[in-house]
Structure formats: C-alpha cells, structure tokens
Amino acid sequence: MRAFQVSNHDQPPVLADVPVPEPGPGQIRVAIKACGLNFADLLMQSGTYQDTPPLPFTLGMEVAGTVDALGEGVTDYSKGDRVAVFGGQGGLAEMGCFDAVRAVKLPDGMDMTAAAAFQIAYGTSHVALEHRARLQQGENLLVLGAAGGVGLTAVEIGKLMGAKVIACARGMDKLEAAKAAGADHLIDARTEDIREAVRALGGADVVYDPVGGEQFTAAFRACRPEARILPIGFASGEVPQIKANHLLVKNISVLGVYWGGYLSFRPEVLTGSLATLMDWHQAGRIKPHVSHVLPLEQAAEGMDLLRSRKSTGKVVITID
C-alpha cells in the first residue's frame, strides 16, 4: 500500500510502498478515505513535536474511513463501520491500524471529508473553551490565528456559547472566513495594534492562542482582570515567556490545552466533548471549514499550504 512517510527529519517525506499492517489486540484496521492535516504534522516531520514517533513513520494524525479488519478482543466495531480516528500518526496511507478506543462511529449525515477535519480542531476548541476556560455568555473571547484550522472552530464554538468573539488574523481575506464563522469584531494582525484594538473593545476575558510569540504578548496586555489565557500551540515558532508577577497583579490564569493528552489520564473528557460536538453537527449548528481537498499524491503540497499559511480552516487529503 502507499504511505506518506518520514524516514529522515532533515529530508522531506516521500510516498512509499509499504506492507499492509495487521491489527493487533484491541485494534481496528481502517481503509482510510480522508486524512486531516494539522500544524503538528509539520512539527512531527521536523522531529520537534512532543509526541514524535520513532523513524520511519507515516504522517497524518486524524482520519476517516471504514473498518476493514478487527484485532483480537474488539467487540464494539464491525467490518464496514464508518469511523473517525485520532491515531496520532499513520493517517496519510491507504490503510492504518489504530487502537479501537481512539475511534468513534460516524453519524449517517457526516461525510468522510468533514469527519477527517473534525476531531482535533473542534475537539481542541470545545475542551479549551468549555472544560478549561469555562467561557461564559457575554464574555469577550479573543481568538488569535482565527482563520486557521483550530482558530475558526474557536470562533464558531465561542459564538455558540454566547461570547462576544474578537477574531484576529493576518489579512482581511482570512478575516472574512472568521466573520462567516460568527466573529463579532475583526482585527488585522498585519496592520493593527492588537493590544489597543482589543482594549478599545473592552479587553479580553478569554484568550485562545494557537500562535504564541508577539501576539501572545499583545493579547496578554489586553486582558481584563481574572482573564484566562489558553495556549493552544506556537505557530509563530516562538514560545512566549510569562512573567509570574504580571499574572499576580491582574489575577490572570494561564491554562494549557493539549487535547490529545487527555487520552492518557481523562479520556472521558474527550468522549463527552465529541458526543456534544457530533450532536451539534447533526443539528447543523457547526460545519467544518475545509479550504483545500487534495489527493494523497499531493500530500506534500498540502503540507506546504500549512507551512505557508495559505489555507483557511482545514486541509484534507483524500485516499482512493
């Protein structure tokens, strides 16, 4: 079968022919139809992600497809079931074996492309805003990187939760996507002073930050007393350093969010969140934004779209 593999962190991944894997105990084998790309795939390719697997490995953290084979002890799934899986790796391939506990059955109304774009982006934002920040109706939510894969879902979910959403992104073309997702106010990070723009809107009660760097600093300075800041990632390449005395003076809380980490210590947080999100999707309250759909042969091009920040929402790779 074909798989988009990393064999050296200093060289680009290649589409290689590899053996079809066999499911182990507790696993399902999935005939993969679609794989959502994430910024973490770029970090994994370079070997800088916190959960980078040993070489060689296949990129692709989240997939959708149909169950093709069952490992020993699997009773909750049958061959032919439509599923989405957060596997952490192995998604950019024709087949993949994943722990069954990482899978969720798809509702009839969700297609494979939407399902592959769903779990990480929506799951991260919902857990961050509902479970970690306890976002309240009427609060000011500042979303940095608001046109990206997770940022757009934060805008959408924040609006559903009753917040006043301030979307910040680079360029009005990207901000139009945030506006369509429900943003109340738009800030162009290329031309506007983020701190002053947010303060003019009353300051931020919650900051959702997948960017880091200078934007984190500007957002921090625009926080209201008792604000909550959610570091989601560091797309800028710069991990901000936080002065504890500044937290103290304004009674600010910084709440780290690593969605996948809950699998190891509180998986019920993820399963409960995904159940809510699936219900919202079925009711038409949320809809994944996918800017590019490319075949497996163009997986490298999809990675470049993330690297150059030319996509909005999600990039999905389809596998025939």
pLDDT of 51 reads 87
State how far the Cα of 138 lies from the Cα of 11, in Å rounded to an integer: 48
192, exposed or middle or buried, with CB in 10 Å at 0-12, 13-18, 19+?
middle
Q: Which residue has the higher pLDDT, 275 or 93?
A: 93
- Greatest CA span in the chain, whole angstroms? 59
Q: What is the pLDDT of residue 28?
A: 98
At residue 271, does pLDDT exceed 90? Answer: no
What pLDDT was estimated at residue 226? 97
Average pLDDT over residues 121-140: 97
The predicted structure's pLDDT at residue 50: 85
Domains of the chain with CATH codes: 2-118+288-318 (3.90.180.10), 121-260 (3.90.180.10)
Residue 263 pLDDT level (bands cut at 50, 70, 90): confident
Report the DSSP beta bridge partners of residue 159: none
Residue 300 has pLDDT above 90, yes or no: yes
Query: What average pLDDT does the structure give for the chain?
Result: 95
User: Which residue, among 176, 213, 210, has the nearest Cα to 42 in the 3D structure?
Assistant: 210
The whole-model pTM stands at 0.90
18-41 pLDDT, tens digit each: 999 999 999 999 999 999 999 999
Neighbours of 223 (CB within 10 A): 26
CB 60 within 8 A of CB 92: yes
* Per-residue pLDDT tens digits for 184-232: 999 999 999 999 999 999 999 999 999 999 999 999 999 999 999 999 9
| Tokens coding 153 | 């879902």
